[in-house]
Amino acid sequence: MAKYTPYYAKVTIAQGGTTSEDFEFDIGTKTLALHIHILEAATTVALQANRPKEQENEADVWTTITVFDLTDGTFEALDGMGGAAAALVVIPVSATGPGPLRFLASGAQASAARDIRVGFGRDG
């Protein structure tokens, strides 16, 4: 069996919160595997990117990532992931840009903090 070294991060949405801590990935990462566990009250998460700042003192601006759908010529938001059942969503990093990234839940995680594991697929 081939040796496999996992590359992953644990990203947390704090108890009572709706946003996760932000995360980035290394150069050479090809895909992100989002292991989304069951969230409170069947809430879902969206994947957001932090807009690059033009000035040092600018506030962070987070935007839900959208991708162009070649099948019908529309933009599709990377949202609605997870919910009442655990989910695994795999996306190419070409869809996200370089980061930093974070998750935004559609509702507060009132009873407990929630962890999302992010796997980084790499060549080699």
What pLDDT band is residue 18 in, cutting at 50, 70 and 90? very high
Domain boundaries, the chain: 13-51+78-122
Q: How does pLDDT run across 22-77, given as a tens digit for each residue?
A: 998 888 888 899 999 888 888 999 999 998 888 889 898 999 998 888 889 999 89
Q: Check residue 86 and give its pLDDT.
A: 85
Q: Report the relative pairing of strands 74-77 and 81-82 from DSSP bridges.
A: unpaired
Cα–Cα separations (whole angstroms), residue 72 to 21, 66, 67: 34, 14, 12
Report residue 6's pLDDT band, with 50, 70 and 90 as the boundaries. Answer: low
What's this model's pTM, rounded to 2 decimal places? 0.85
**d(Cα 64, Cα 36) in Å, to the nearest integer?**
17
Residue 3 has pLDDT above 80, yes or no: no
Please say if the pLDDT value at position 4 is more than 80.
no
What pLDDT, in 10s, does the model give residues 84-120? 788 899 988 888 877 799 999 999 999 899 999 998 8
Backbone torsions φ then ψ of 53, nearest 5 degrees: -85, 140
